[in-house]
Amino acid sequence: MPIIIITLILLVYINRHYSFGLQPAFGVLVTICFISTGIYLYADYNQKPAFYDGGTSVAVLLETPVENRNFHKAVARIDAVFRNDSIFTTNETILVYFSKSKPLPQMAAGEIIMFQAKPQPIQNFGNPYEFDYKKYLERKRIYRQIYLTENDWTLTNESRLNLAVWAERTREKLLTIYRQQPLDNQKREILSALTLGYKRNLNPETKRVFSSAGAMHVLAVSGLHVGIIFWVLTLLLNRFRKKKPEKLIFVAISLITLWGYAFITGLAPSVLRATTMFSIFIVAEIFRRKSNAFNSLAVSAFILLLINPNNLFETGFQLSYSAVFGILYLQPQMRKLFVVKNKIAIFLLDLITVSIAAQIATFPLTLFYFGQFPVYFLITNIIIIPTVTILIPMGILLLVLSHFPIIANIIALLLNKIIHYLFLILMQIEMLPNSVIESPISSIQFLFIAASLIAFFILLKTGKEKALEAMLFTILLIFVSFTIDNFSHRNKNELIVYNNQKNSTVQFIHGRESFVISEKPITSEMPILQSINRTNKIRKLYSPDYYLLSDQVNGDHFILHDKTVVFKGKTIHFGSWNINKMTVLQPDIIVNPVLESDLAIYENTKVILTDKKYISKINAIKQLTYYPAYQMAYQEKW
């Protein structure tokens, strides 16, 4: 704060005694002021709330609980804790998991629950390359979670409303209207995501198909959706845009409609960004001032970051602004390359150039965060954007006319058919050869690709030779980094003991080959499979060979016999070590020995306990013992 105050004083002084020589100092001070303000706001926004353990917590549900396979999940805010005849106020947002041992009563956002259980800190599994769920929630200011059985909590008859809760309740009422219509489950969930931004019930198959086909962006309400709403408004209210008194009506209706739409879709950053931009454009129109699109984009980003500095680190926020910047910067220049007069050709050309511009601008972020690139995104966008332009107005029309059963049933029938065929087309695109190129990149590679893209933007703008040289140099660095990455893993060996208490799982890696051993078969619904697939994807491994501990394997690099693995000079045993049977071969690692006596003969053997039931039995060799359940997955490279 002192730096900000001093900077502002200096800026006021320079402004009063301004001269051309002070121009650089003025620019430097403005930059320092903005950076200091950003640091201060970020630190202030991320101050942790007071955590209270023990007593009775009073919490407000911030959303309607969503049913998963093993529990009901919701976000809640603890407002107060009663303990020893005292009341402690707080403002802690937590994750709440309700047991499914009995049916959960109907609950809505804003309702108050009371519980005495102690919330626990959120922890990652600690497996390699996993999504940092803890950091993700911390940026939403969620630090703890709690699991409540049927006897742990009480639903009160009180409720507490604020703007966010009101928005959630409004959206829930609209979702209820969709649920009452003759819509298939999958079609209803897709329609809910398209029109109301509600994605909590989308099944993994739907997400996979949309992602692989390059259409995932339409399921996140953003500028496309707000633009469609504004386009419909323009068609309906075009006559009010001609004279100034009538323009006020157009502006008022447009602003109310757009912000109302942002409200019922959960006030997501992508919606707020688009709504803010369109609002600036609409207001500028009434004053007959031409708004600069880049300034509008910057203003909307500035406003959202003032409200929530953590938006800067949100993947959706970064992708949204990158896409819009790419469209504003690249699309006009691409459009100039073609001269067409036919209206249909103009529409298709605009659609193609917008899609390519957005894809180019988001390319580094897409590879960095998702490690894949949808090859047929152009075909997908040519199909899906016109379809969504029809679906969104129809979905809203269904909500408006839901009290007229005959009309509502006709609209629902049409929506069912359109979404059905759209999904079939996306499935066909997903099944095309090489529909997705998987190429995860490191942080350094991301910086090189981003720098190359920035140099490309500068080259388009200025045409200077220096920009071309910078672009070519960064492209060279990209190729060098990929080459080094490939060679560094070619002959490397690695052992990973995953944090998986219910089914001990170990992966052995040699170059691009890998072998996975587990106590029980690994099925598709097990979370551990996602961890293994993530490792395979990041390390660019071939599909691994899966074995059970009871199997017998004799390979060139991998031998499994009697629960003992010999792999590239390392010996790893699972369970008790039978010293009478194998006295010559000393294990380097023993996973989950049953008793401490199993290890008495080998002082330098590493012990790894993935199952908590063995921890109390192994005490004498703590300096050589590793606990993935309390630490993270064990990794060793050689």
Band (pLDDT 50/70/90 cuts) for residue 387 is very high
What is the predicted pLDDT for the residue at 335? 85
> What is the model's pTM?
0.84
Band (pLDDT 50/70/90 cuts) for residue 58 is very high
Scan for tokens 């529409």, then name that residue. 347
Classify 631 as helix, strand or coil: coil
Q: Is pLDDT of 601 > 60?
A: no
Q: Is pLDDT of 361 > 90?
A: yes
Scan for tokens 């630190």, then name that residue. 43
What is the predicted pLDDT for the residue at 602? 61
Give the tens place of pLDDT for each residue, 477-530: 999 999 988 888 777 899 999 998 888 899 999 999 999 999 999 988 888 999
Residues 258/275, Cβ–Cβ less than 8 Å:
yes
Q: How many Å apart are CA 263 and CA 135, to the nearest integer?
A: 27
Percentage of residues of the chain with pLDDT beyond 90: 46
Q: What is the bridge-based pairing of β-strands 86-99 and 71-83? A: antiparallel
Q: Is pLDDT of 580 > 60?
A: no
Give the tens place of pLDDT for each residue, 224-258: 888 889 888 888 887 777 676 777 888 889 899 99
Q: How many Å apart are CA 536 and CA 518, to the nearest integer?
A: 16
Q: What is the mean pLDDT of residues 430-440?
A: 89
What is the predicted pLDDT for the residue at 578? 57
Band (pLDDT 50/70/90 cuts) for residue 134 is very high
- Tell me how far apart the 2 most distant CA atoms of the chain are, in Å: 98
Q: What is the mean pLDDT of residues 43-49?
A: 91
Residues 304/41, Cβ–Cβ less than 8 Å:
no
Q: How many Å apart are CA 543 and CA 322, to the nearest integer?
A: 34
Strands of the sheet with 545-548, listed across from one edge: 545-548, 513-518, 505-510, 493-497, 634-637
Helix axes 377-400 and 223-237, enclosed angle (nearest 10): 60
Task: Give strand pairing partners of 74.
Answer: 96
Band (pLDDT 50/70/90 cuts) for residue 615 is low
Mean pLDDT value across the chain: 87
Band (pLDDT 50/70/90 cuts) for residue 592 is confident
Q: How many Å apart are CA 422 and CA 416, to the nearest integer?
A: 10
Give the tens place of pLDDT for each residue, 531-551: 999 999 988 899 999 999 999
Q: Is pLDDT of 632 > 90?
A: no
